[in-house]
Structure 1
Amino acid sequence: MALKLKPLADRVIVKQTEAEEKTASGIYLPDAAKEKPTKGKVIAAGPGKFDDNGKRMELAVSVGDTVYYGKYAGTDVEVDGQKLVILRESDILGVLE
């Protein structure tokens, strides 16, 4: 199924990983206590933004990369029942290798 949302400029669309259901010691967390995920997989990437000379700069991340981003970064959206986050490339803290 193709994604109906296309990111522009230096933005990427990330599918969040699921929030942890229980703590390391085995205590199950209610929905209200779950942390917002800060890790996800890039499912779409924009073409990059233009530099001062009008040349397009490629993004450092690509589709399929697993990335970490700030807790309050990006905009949460829902498309076709999928919970997604739209982030600027600068909001991404790192790529998991």
Structure 2
Amino acid sequence: MATATKSKPAAAKQSKVKLQPMGDKVVVRRDESEDVTAGGIVLPDSSKDKPNRGTIASVGPGKMLDDGKRGPMQVKVGDRVLFTSYAPETITIGDEEMLLLSESDILAVIE
């Protein structure tokens, strides 16, 4: 019996550079925006709103508390999240655009 191998889609290509955020920061891969409206109109890149949701790629160790301990992070790698649109710092590694933001800028986890 032959087994089929699954290949990863090109959009899910992993970067060779590893980012380890500091404190309560997280690195997020932004979801792709829609190319076609509900009415069937194709949108050019310049007119698309960038989505304010994505998948967490890396998390920091947590915020340093006044007593010297670290507060636990509420999100983990792989969580799909909604975040504020003004908060993220855009970083580019190779040809991949990622976002760096504080855990407090995350509004909700999508389940």
Instruction: Give the TM-score of the pair, scaled to structure 1.
Output: 0.93
Of 46, 50, 69, the match for 1:55 = 69
Shift of 1:26: 1.2
Query: Sequence identity, in percent?
Result: 43
Show structure 1 runs of 4+ deviating over 2 A. 1-4
Asked which structure has the greater CA Rg, the reply is 2
Shift of 1:86: 0.3
Say which structure, 1 or 2, has more relative contact order (CA 8 Å, 6+ apart). 1
Instruction: Give the TM-score of the pair, scaled to structure 2.
Output: 0.82
Moved more, 40-49 or 24-33: 24-33
Gaps of 5+ in 2: 1-13
For the aligned residue pairs, the C-alpha RMSD in angstroms reads 1.1
Gaps of 5+ in 1: none
Shift of 1:22: 1.2
Rounded Cα–Cα distance in structure 2 between residues aligned with 1:48 and 1:3: 21
Shift of 1:4: 2.6
